[in-house]
Amino acid sequence: MAKITLSIIKADIGSIGGHIKPSQKLFEAVESHIKNKGKGLLIDYYIGFTGDDVAILSTHQKGVLAEPIHRLCWDALIVGTNVAKSQGLYGAGQDLLKDTFSGNVKGMGPAIAEMEIDERPAEPFLFFAADKTDPGAYNLPLYLSFTDPMHNAGLMLSPEIKKGFKFVIMDVNYTEADKIIELNSPEETYDIAALLRDPERFVVESVWSRATGEQAAVVSTTRLHNIAGKYVGKDDPVMLVRTQKDFPATGEILSPYAIAPYVAGFMRGSHAGPLMPVKKNSSISFFDGPPVVSCLAFCVKNGKLTEPADAFDQPFWDYIRNKASQKAEEIRRQGFYGQAMLPFTELEYTGIMETLNELEKRFKVRKK
Ligand code: 13P
Ligand code: 13P
Ligand code: MG
Ligand code: MG
């Protein structure tokens, strides 16, 4: 088998009743476009939603950022947007920020996570999709799964995994082009931590095995406010992670999600809330949240996908969901105050800046 490419292209193109979930009609329109127009182009596909975001996972042999694949998905999202408009859905076409398609959807609004791989004899991988948060939400889980034996027993038990992993980290505040740094664990683990502690600025873009040079993970790094110049919605990132053998085991990748760490997002993309692991096709509710992440496990052979196994649909995660609910309720008790709401840098394009600018004029410096 030649190389195959796993592609996720994801966007919010409209939602029932606010920012909750897409309509059945919208979802079916996207799916039937991919099914009909993807013939001869895609080997296989899977479409799902997490909160108000629709994600198209496809397999093909066109490589990453391939025009025909991106055009197919862009057109499917346009078709879905038209349905959203016809049904009066909220935020129809929300993440489609540009009018004309030019080669690929990078910088146009949708989130992209793509990997070209040499298929292993058995090729298990995980498809993550999060809503009401931003790409930095994967920083802590990836750090723990790939560098910390408290979550990854393979770092102690497997000679290949012990060789460590290369992290490619992006400075997402730099908007002229991609600004990245490559750091190796274990030698540079503390440097990796020094960057990843600031998930609004530094985002893991990809992770690579040092034993084989093979790619283990890829994350969508889009920051919508950097494209639109104003707040249009949270970035709601997707991620692909290959597992087993020279990569962490599936359970080692899942392990850190038991922390339900506080991440940026939640109501109006402006608050902190716990990242709750949810089942596939889950919707959003409490305070437009909490931030959620779904994870579907697949195997792929010659580009053909198995049915998904829903990684967070298991009794253990009900317990974590209860804990995450408690964390959500607890931080909501302090409303807009302090750590419950994001710092100014994350709010800079919203009405609060106008208020602060007005108030600034009324400040007086008291004479000594
Ligand atoms: P195998 O021994 O089947 O590769 O499984 C190891 C493992 O991933 C258990 O967590
Ligand atoms: P989305 O980014 O998921 O559309 O959410 C926007 C929002 O403002 C929720 O309150
Ligand atoms: Mg939305
Ligand atoms: Mg969303």
Question: Is 359 within the bounds of a domain?
Answer: no
Question: Is 352 within the bounds of a domain?
Answer: no
Question: Is 360 within the bounds of a domain?
Answer: no
The span from the CA of 26 to the CA of 36, in Å, is 16
Select from 118, 144, 163 the last residue of a domain: 118
CB 275 within 8 A of CB 324: yes
The pLDDT tens digits for 252-301 are 999 999 999 999 999 999 999 999 999 999 999 999 999 999 999 999 99
Select from 76, 102, 118 the last residue of a domain: 118
Ligand 1 centroid distance, CA of 207 (Å): 21
Question: Is 348 within the bounds of a domain?
Answer: no
- Total structural domains within the chain: 2
pLDDT given for residue 329 in this prediction:
98
Same domain, 312 and 165: yes
Q: Which domain holds residue 37?
A: 1-118
- The residues pairing with 124 across neighbouring beta strands, listed in sequence order, are 299
The pLDDT tens digits for 40-97 are 999 999 999 999 999 999 999 999 999 999 999 999 999 999 999 999 999 999 999 9
Same domain, 66 and 202: no
Same domain, 66 and 199: no
Question: Is 368 within the bounds of a domain?
Answer: no
Question: Is 127 within the bounds of a domain?
Answer: yes
Q: What is the CATH classification number for the domain harbouring 34?
A: 3.30.70
Ligand 3 (ion): which residues have CB within 5 A?
12, 19, 52, 91
Q: Mean pLDDT, to the nearest integer, of 100-113? A: 93
What pTM does this model have? 0.96
Same domain, 146 and 199: yes
Same domain, 204 and 318: yes
The pLDDT tens digits for 199-219 are 999 999 999 999 999 999 999
**Nearest atom within ligand 1 for CA of residue 252:** 10
Q: Which residues are catalytic?
A: 12, 231, 234
Q: Mean pLDDT, to the nearest integer, of 196-201? A: 95
Same domain, 165 and 302: yes
Q: What number of helices (H) and strands (E) belong to the chain? A: 11, 16
Question: Is 211 within the bounds of a domain?
Answer: yes
Same domain, 149 and 100: no
Question: Is 356 within the bounds of a domain?
Answer: no
Say whether 162 sits in a helix, a strand or coil.
helix
pLDDT given for residue 234 in this prediction:
72
Same domain, 257 and 128: yes
pLDDT given for residue 60 in this prediction:
98
Q: Mean pLDDT, to the nearest integer, of 27-31? A: 98
Question: What is the average pLDDT value for the chain, to the nearest integer?
Answer: 95
- Among candidate residues 114, 316, 148, the one with its CA nearest the CA of residue 219: 114
**Nearest atom within ligand 1 for CA of residue 251:** 10
Instruction: Kindly tell me if the per-residue pLDDT of 349 is higher than 60.
Output: no
pLDDT given for residue 213 in this prediction:
97
Same domain, 313 and 278: yes
